[in-house]
């Protein structure tokens, strides 16, 4: 019996749209950054109104994004806005990404290029290292300010400490781990609790021709890392409330420094006090928009 060929369809997958309405415009830009980092296909800030329109890529579970937004609102004490979900007419989702996601300089040393433009860029563009991304797979496309801040600090550390070892907590798409390898990291432990990150990490390691042997990646929590593990650098690029949960365990694994990104400027003073309690002192800080990142040294 000969199997029948599978019928292909030209019907494009359906897209979902969130319309998010606040009482004022104070939190539009921070939430926009956050949602693009979480893999939204596009985020539009409505002119003259406290409204965001967010398009999800196909097959992305809206429940996961809603949960992520709830954590975001709670951690920053933002009153929950009105959120309306609707289904859009079928359209080419790839075209949506290609319309809204263009190559850009993420920080001092990295230039982010989407996968469909890979052939047009070499390993270096405009004096910066080219990092290829597949937008929409997991958190970490370089669009979020906290990712750019952490990348700067990792690059600076690598220049002074070639062959360093690192833990990348909440790695998402793995961009920070890839940048670490590009800038001298010899061994990297990267983990995340989101199962979607597994494919995202594999995709980005392949796209960027990374040396697979240098990476130990797993889905899980810091509890899966042997407590006697030692690395030179621990990197955590997550919202502050989660950093506070992870740091007591991970700080003990660092023999040298921490890079901590995801803290609002308004919370900097209390966060520095928390870092000091873990046996580290802040030696450098960088600010972008309302976000601040810290590089901390073991005391």
pLDDT at res. 245:
94
CA distance 62 to 178: 28
pLDDT at res. 4:
34
Of the residues 37, 70, 97, the one at which a domain ends: 97
In a shared domain, residues 88 and 149: no
The number of angstroms, rounded, from the C-alpha of 233 to the middle of its chain's C-alpha atoms is: 18
**What are the φ/ψ torsions at residue 216 (nearest 5 degrees)?**
-120, 105
- Which pTM was predicted? 0.77
Over the chain (299 residues), the average pLDDT of each successive run of 10 is 33 73 87 78 79 80 87 87 84 63 88 92 94 75 84 97 97 94 98 86 94 96 96 94 94 98 92 98 92 96
SS3 124: strand
In a shared domain, residues 21 and 85: yes
Query: How many distinct structural domains can be found in the chain?
Result: 2
In a shared domain, residues 25 and 148: no
pLDDT at res. 5:
32
Q: Look at residue 133 and tell me if it is in a domain.
A: no
pLDDT at res. 59:
65
Which residue range(s) make up the domain with 248? 144-298
pLDDT at res. 71:
87
Helix extents (H) in 191-251: 196-207, 240-251
Q: Look at residue 239 and tell me if it is in a domain.
A: yes
Q: Look at residue 125 and tell me if it is in a domain.
A: no
Q: Look at residue 130 and tell me if it is in a domain.
A: no
pLDDT at res. 13:
52
Residue 128, number of CB atoms within 10 A of its CB: 15
In a shared domain, residues 181 and 84: no
pLDDT at res. 3:
34
CA distance 179 to 159: 12
In a shared domain, residues 151 and 267: yes
User: From residue 45, how far is each of 32, 52, 135, 205, 225 by CA, in Å?
Assistant: 8, 5, 20, 33, 41
The CATH number of the domain where 25 resides is what?
A: 3.30.70
Of the residues 97, 126, 157, the one at which a domain ends: 97
In a shared domain, residues 162 and 51: no
CA distance 76 to 79: 9
Q: Look at residue 31 and tell me if it is in a domain.
A: yes
The CATH number of the domain where 288 resides is what?
A: 3.40.50.150
pLDDT at res. 41:
72
In a shared domain, residues 157 and 294: yes
pLDDT at res. 179:
97
In a shared domain, residues 169 and 81: no
In a shared domain, residues 93 and 148: no
In a shared domain, residues 55 and 182: no
CA distance 271 to 258: 13
Residue 94, number of CB atoms within 10 A of its CB: 14
For residue 209, the number of C-alpha atoms closer than 13 Å in the C-beta half-sphere is 4
């Amino acid at each position: 019996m000969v199997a029948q060929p599978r019928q292909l369809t030209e019907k494009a997958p359906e897209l979902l749209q969130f319309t998010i309405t606040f009482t004022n415009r104070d939190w539009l830009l921070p939430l926009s950054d956050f949602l693009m980092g979480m893999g939204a296909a596009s985020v539009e800030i409505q002119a003259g109104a406290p409204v965001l329109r967010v398009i999800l890529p196909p097959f992305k579970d809206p429940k996961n994004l809603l949960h992520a937004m709830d954590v975001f609102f709670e951690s920053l004490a933002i009153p929950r806005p009105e959120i309306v979900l609707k289904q859009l007419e079928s359209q080419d989702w790839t075209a949506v990404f290609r319309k809204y996601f263009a190559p850009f300089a993420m920080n001092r040393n990295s230039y982010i290029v989407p996968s469909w433009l890979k052939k047009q860029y070499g390993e270096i563009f405009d004096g910066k290292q080219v990092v290829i991304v597949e937008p929409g797979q997991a958190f970490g496309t370089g669009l979020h300010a906290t990712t750019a801040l952490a990348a700067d600090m990792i690059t600076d550390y690598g220049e002074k400490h070639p062959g360093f070892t690192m833990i990348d907590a909440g790695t998402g798409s793995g961009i920070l781990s890839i940048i670490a390898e590009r800038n001298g990291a010899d061994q990297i432990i990267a983990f995340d609790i989101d199962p979607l990150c597994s494919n995202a990490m594999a995709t980005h390691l392949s796209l960027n021709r990374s040396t697979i042997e240098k990476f130990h990646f797993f889905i899980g929590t810091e509890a899966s890392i042997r407590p006697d593990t030692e690395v030179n650098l621990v990197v955590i690029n997550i919202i502050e409330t989660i950093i506070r949960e992870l740091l007591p365990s991970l700080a003990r694994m660092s023999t040298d420094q921490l890079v901590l990104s995801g803290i609002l400027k308004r919370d900097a003073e209390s966060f520095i006090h928390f870092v000091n309690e873990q046996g580290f002192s802040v030696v450098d800080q960088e600010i972008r928009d309302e976000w601040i990142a810290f590089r901390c040294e073991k005391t």
